[in-house]
Structure 1
């Protein structure tokens, strides 16, 4: 069980995402932070990352791994495709 509320996770998650963003930008990609709900971090991969064959690896072994190491090992990253309607309050 994650010992943080979703609200408590937002700032630390944003800080970790800021630290991994240069890795994505070097390859012409990026990400949009969509929110946190029940220990899941919702992102949208953008630029060259969207649709890239390695995007799943980037999510799990790049972004998610950094979040697990820096914040808590039970965090999970979920990619929301661009242009997909998304409302975190409806989850």
Structure 2
């Protein structure tokens, strides 16, 4: 296989992001955008619900990184930074128990040691 130019690699990366990655994270209110690719390293920015979300690292490593590396073998590492201008709160599932926390009164019957 002939060595591809940096421009060809970037085109392929952007295609993978558009076709596979962006629709998946958008379903949870997230945004992932291309920042830069250089010498095997891809930089992305996380926005929307992905920005500041605790699960974004798992999504990046287990989902995005695996997908991109599969289709673009020239990519060796991927890092992402949170969008400092994001105004969307990270996605969290609501816990029905926590909504009624104040209704529960627990008496501490343990004796001090």
The normalised TM-score by structure 2 is 0.65
Q: Which residue of 1 aligns with 2:79?
A: 78
Tell me by how many angstroms 1:73 deviates.
6.8
Task: Considering Cα pairs closer than 8 Å and 6+ residues apart, tell me whether 1 or 2 has the greater RCO.
Answer: 1
Q: Report the number of matched residues.
A: 82
How big is the shift at 1:74? 4.9
Unaligned runs of 5+ in 1: 84-91
For the aligned residues, what is the CA RMSD?
1.9
Unaligned runs of 5+ in 2: 85-113
Structure 1 residue 80, shift from structure 2 partner:
2.5
Query: For residues 73 and 13 of structure 2, what CA distance do their matches in structure 1 show?
Result: 10
Larger Rg: 2
Aligned to 2:59: 58
